[in-house]
């Protein structure tokens, strides 16, 4: 998938655990894992807003577009 979620990078910068992050954002740790592992198909703006508020960052710090490699 060309959109990569960088939650783990932001959590590491802040030395914040997934459990603490999940609690403060209002998600389950399992749902945070789905986001971190790139298995999420969508993210609500309200969830993205909460993640940015908790991590004091911009959406672009959490989401990155990378060009998809073609199989040749």
Question: 69: pLDDT confidence band, cut at 50, 70 and 90?
Answer: confident
> CB pairs under 8 A, 24+ apart, for 26-33?
26/50, 32/7
Pairing of strands 3-5, 63-65: antiparallel
The tens digit of pLDDT for each residue in 13-32 reads 999 999 999 999 999 999 99
> What is the overall mean pLDDT for the chain?
93
Average pLDDT over residues 27-46: 94
Q: How far is CA 29 from CA 1, 11, 45, 67, 71, in A?
A: 22, 13, 19, 29, 34
pLDDT at 63 over 60: yes
What token pair was written down for 32? 């945070």
pLDDT at 71 over 70: no
DSSP at 37: T
């Amino acid at each position: 998938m060309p959109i990569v979620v960088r939650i783990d990078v932001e959590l590491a910068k802040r030395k914040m655990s997934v459990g603490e992050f999940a609690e403060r954002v209002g998600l389950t740790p399992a749902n945070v894992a789905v986001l971190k592992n790139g298995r999420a198909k969508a993210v609500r703006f309200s969830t993205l807003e909460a993640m940015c508020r908790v991590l004091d960052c911009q959406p672009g710090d959490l989401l990155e577009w990378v060009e998809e490699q073609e199989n040749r």
